[in-house]
Amino acid sequence: MNDHEFKIVKIDGDYEWHVHPETDKLFFVIEGEMIIDFRDGQVRISKDEMFIVPKGLEIKPSAEKECHIMLMEPKSEVDAGGTESA
């Protein structure tokens, strides 16, 4: 929609520290709970909650148990490090 993608993903465990310098990032939790660590704090997002990370902030998403989330980001945005996973 309007050059943005909605991605449904499962996360479990830690993701790497990264930053999106050019765009905000929206996280919506469909099932479970996720954590977003910042260098100066942390936020927990539970089922049916949404959180927007402003561009330029370094983050490390994680989940203690499998968590299903929806991400919204520009189509041009490359995932951290350009890595792919199952």
For residue 86, tell me if it sits in a domain: no
Total domains in the chain come to 1
pLDDT score, position 73: 84
For residue 20, tell me if it sits in a domain: yes
Domain range for 50 is 4-74
* Residues whose CB is less than 8 angstroms from the CB of residue 83 and which lie 6 or more positions away in sequence, other chains included: none
Which of 24, 33, 20, 23 lies closest to 69, judged by CA? 33
Q: What is the CATH number of the domain that holds 67?
A: 2.60.120.10
For residue 70, tell me if it sits in a domain: yes
List the pLDDT tens digit at each of the 86 positions of the chain.
888 889 999 999 999 999 999 889 999 999 999 999 999 999 999 999 999 999 999 999 999 999 999 999 887 766 654 445 44
For residue 66, tell me if it sits in a domain: yes
For residue 9, tell me if it sits in a domain: yes
Note the pTM of the prediction, 2 decimals: 0.83
For residue 81, tell me if it sits in a domain: no
